[in-house]
Amino acid sequence: MSARRPCPPAPGPLEDYAQRFDVLFSSLAQRRGLRDYLQGLLLPRDRNKTLTGLAGAEPITGAQHREVQRLQWFLSESAWDHEQVNDRRVQLLCQDPATAPHERGVLVLDDTGDRKDGSATAHVARQYLGSVGKIDNGIVAVTSLWADERCYWPVHAVPYTPASRLPAGERDPGFRTKPQLAIELVQAAQQAGIGFQAVVADCAYGDNPGFTDALTAAKVPFVLALKPRKGTWAPAEAAHTPTEAAGDLGWQGSRKPGRWRRVTRRFRDGHTETWWAADAQLGGWGPDRPLRLVVASTDPARLPGHSTWYLLTNLPRPATRRAQQAELADIVRLYGLRNWVEQSYKQVKGELGWADFQVRSDRAIRRHWTLVCCAFSFCWQAFLAEQPPAPESQAAPTAARGAQATGHPGGTGRATVVASGAAPGAGLADPMEHVATLLAVMVASTAAPAAATAA
């Protein structure tokens, strides 16, 4: 067997990261494509991360440039397995003590949609898109994300195929609902050896009986949101919705809280909030039932919509009152970690070009998403390599800070490491001419919650 030809190295620490995937790529062209694609994704977002944007070519006239065509071939036609690449990425995260999953973290399930024109692109159809808040033409992905108070990273992502795209519609053997795809992602995370305390998801999954039944049957712990007005059968004199159940908890003020218990939430910017939480009774859900309804709010008297959660969980209720209060605080903490999935969407879409692909095939789309996740994970590796271990109660930093070398708050202060001395080719803009960082900005405005403890 002939020795592998050396690949032109990626700049700085990106080369060390890329080398860990080289065993999965059989040719020099593939290894070079990996480096160039990741490097393009990590550039400051001066334009969309299309193939011409990744190569630094003219937006339209540069589409036939050899560097653009090389990336096109790597993404669409070259023979490599995106599932193996993603498995390797997850394995590296699990092996690194700074990002390794543990039993205090959560597995967040969610879906995200983005506009896409036409109907020739795989999985694209008129459907509800969360990013625009309405039905529109686009593509939806169901995702899983591991998170604790310090860091968060994507685990798996699969496209959702609407029934309208399948020959037999909803009766087609290949049709899967979003909750069914989410169950498969939970199984994939378990097979990858990813530990978590509970599965967490919003009301789109909590209100789905098939989803909760599947998790219950698999003995997977969960904390899922419910719609406030989700109705259930009950006697006429009993509560019929989570909101009505919360009204039966006996709140008469902070000195006479009834069944409410005070909990404290601590946020990433250091401030704290006093919340109240309680076990409620609704239909077949109750403190001593297999499924519990936990209500958490900043104001049990008014139950404001923006700061009140109705949570369905299968976590068993402790026996003692003190343990119950601590356990309620932990349930609030677990669901609070769901905010990280919204933060990660801002980052992979706002900076790393999650939805910027201009390819049509299912395989190419999945490959693009896998490489975006690799770029995201590299940012965490670069950041945490230079940071001292943080206490568990501290919230996660912004992933981009691991790659910053400017005076931006949270930057590492390192010298520029990306493509120093790189020269543009004919017909290409210099892709590194503005680079002082691997990423310009990762949105850091979300005040996602950290650990909650009993007051």
The predicted structure's pLDDT at residue 420: 33
The predicted structure's pLDDT at residue 381: 87
Q: Are 149 and 392 in contact (CB under 8 A)?
A: yes
- pTM for this model (two decimals): 0.85
Burial of residue 388 (number of CB atoms within 10 Å: 0-12, 13-18, 19+): exposed
The per-residue pLDDT string of the chain (455 residues; one tens digit each, 9 = 90 and over) reads 566 778 889 998 999 999 999 999 999 999 999 999 999 999 988 889 999 999 988 888 888 899 999 999 999 999 999 999 999 999 999 999 999 999 999 999 999 999 999 989 999 999 999 888 899 999 999 999 999 998 999 999 999 999 999 999 999 999 999 999 999 999 999 999 999 999 999 999 999 999 999 999 999 999 999 999 887 776 777 789 999 999 999 999 999 999 999 999 988 778 899 999 999 999 889 999 999 999 999 999 999 999 999 999 999 999 898 899 999 999 999 999 999 999 999 999 999 999 999 999 999 999 999 999 999 999 998 888 877 655 444 443 333 333 333 333 233 333 333 333 333 444 444 333 333 344 333 333 333 343 333 32
The predicted structure's pLDDT at residue 131: 85
The predicted structure's pLDDT at residue 270: 82
Question: What amino acid is encoded at 412 in this protein?
Answer: T
Look up residue 11 and give its DSSP letter. Answer: S
The predicted structure's pLDDT at residue 419: 34
The predicted structure's pLDDT at residue 329: 96
- The whole-angstrom separation of Cα 216 and Cα 284 is 15
pLDDT digits (tens, 9 = 90+) for 74-124: 999 999 999 999 999 999 999 999 999 999 999 999 999 999 999 899 999
- The whole-angstrom separation of Cα 167 and Cα 173 is 10
Q: Are 130 and 113 in contact (CB under 8 A)?
A: yes
Burial of residue 94 (number of CB atoms within 10 Å: 0-12, 13-18, 19+): middle
